[in-house]
Amino acid sequence: MLAIYLPGGLNAGEYPPEGTAVLFVLDDLLPFLTWWGAAVSVLAIAWLAWRERALPRWVGALGLLALLPPLALLVVFGMPGLFGVTVPLWLIVTGTAMAVRGSAAVPMAPRRPVVV
């Protein structure tokens, strides 16, 4: 996609090298950044597993375990893209296991009244 801006490309020299470098970094990283939404959904699924007991607890535990390395790299090094590696693996493992085992959830506890 961006090869036309490289030396010998159709638009070589028409774009400053700094701008080209930024576009290459964005083009390289954006596919991984799109998994942030899936990472947030992993948190929601963990909530459903642990708090609401609508899913087996192992699903929530595995989801939180899959989020630990990307969150650590984000906090320590500022690298936001590892969610694109761990969350798809979590989806494959969890989806396959739930399809094979079944997704029998723990019976739901009666709801507590909301006190405002």
Token pair of 10, please? 């159709």
pLDDT per 10-residue tile (average), the chain, 116 residues: 74 80 82 83 90 87 92 86 86 86 62 73
Tell if the pTM clears 0.85, that is, is over it: no
| Residues in Cβ contact with 20 at an 8 Å cutoff, skipping those fewer than 6 apart | 2, 5, 6
Q: Mapping DSSP to helix (H, G, I), strand (E, B) and coil, where does residue 78 land?
A: coil
- Residue 84 sits at the vertex; the CA angle it makes with 93 and 38, to the nearest 5 degrees, is 70
CA distance 34 to 37: 7
